[in-house]
Structure 1
Amino acid sequence: RHLDTAFQNFFKQPKTGFPRFKSKKRNKNSYSTVCINGNITLSNGYLKLPKIGQVRLKQHRSVPSEYRLKSVTVSQTPSGKYYASILFEYEDQVQEKELQKFLGLDFSMHELYRDSNGKEPAYPGYYRNAEKKLAREQRKLSKMQKGSNNRNKQRLKVAKLHEKVSNQRKDFLHKQSRQIANDYDCVCIEDLDMKAMSRSLNFGKSVSDNGW
């Protein structure tokens, strides 16, 4: 279905490029399933999936009754955790807002950003703090025999360390962006090629750690 949509977009829309090849050897394991004739339901803390049945889940927000369930994407992280991303359809009219409060953001290597009021958030370098521990655990992993149980245990240990750093960064960024969205009507940011900056030998690691 995704491949068909990609080819249709390629032939119909001139700016859409040719579909890229996605290797099955990527470390992201996921699959999507479409809701047909009520084969997917979400109720009482359980998610019903086709061919699997009822799966208990931790639901992080309530869903209004008028929302229509469209599809579910189930994915597994390298550390072994499973997540279900559930797509709903609903009708809503977005209210236009008069822009009164403005804020400008400039990229800052050390403190994530500097805003037009001269403020900088105290960004804790999560990756930098965990770098020594990560290097130690990855060094252990590289010396273990491929295919062994101990190597698999160590692989999970390294994956959990990376996941913790990623979760810390996401938590900080979500809180910062939420605070900005609550206080201002319009936010302007400078146009930078962050991918190109992350490949730089001088400060690529800092750009990746900021997650800008």
Structure 2
Amino acid sequence: MVSITSSGKYSISILTEYEKEIKDKDIQNVVGLDFAMDGLFVDSDGKKANYLSFIDKCWIDLQKNNANYPARKKVLRIGTNNRFE
């Protein structure tokens, strides 16, 4: 299908169809994952992901960055309709 837009640009749409043979697979192992606050996830065998060290490192970095970031001071400027900026 060829179409033209109001700005004068042409666009072409092509629709194709083909059949693909779907092969059934023999499923031998299934793993279920569940969200866990203390380690990101727990699988169906009871194994936990050990991501706490990564989360702890990010938390420490965040605390360091917040300690170095100065608090914003509110200043009343004359002529700004008494708004704080």
* TM-score band w.r.t. shorter chain: 0.3 to 0.5
Q: Which has the higher contact order (CA 8 A, sep 6+)?
A: 1
Choose between structure 1 and 2: higher strand proportion.
1
Q: If each structure's helix is expressed as a fraction of its own residues, which one has the higher value?
A: 1
TM-score by length of 1: 0.20
Q: What is the TM-score with the length of structure 2 in the denominator?
A: 0.43
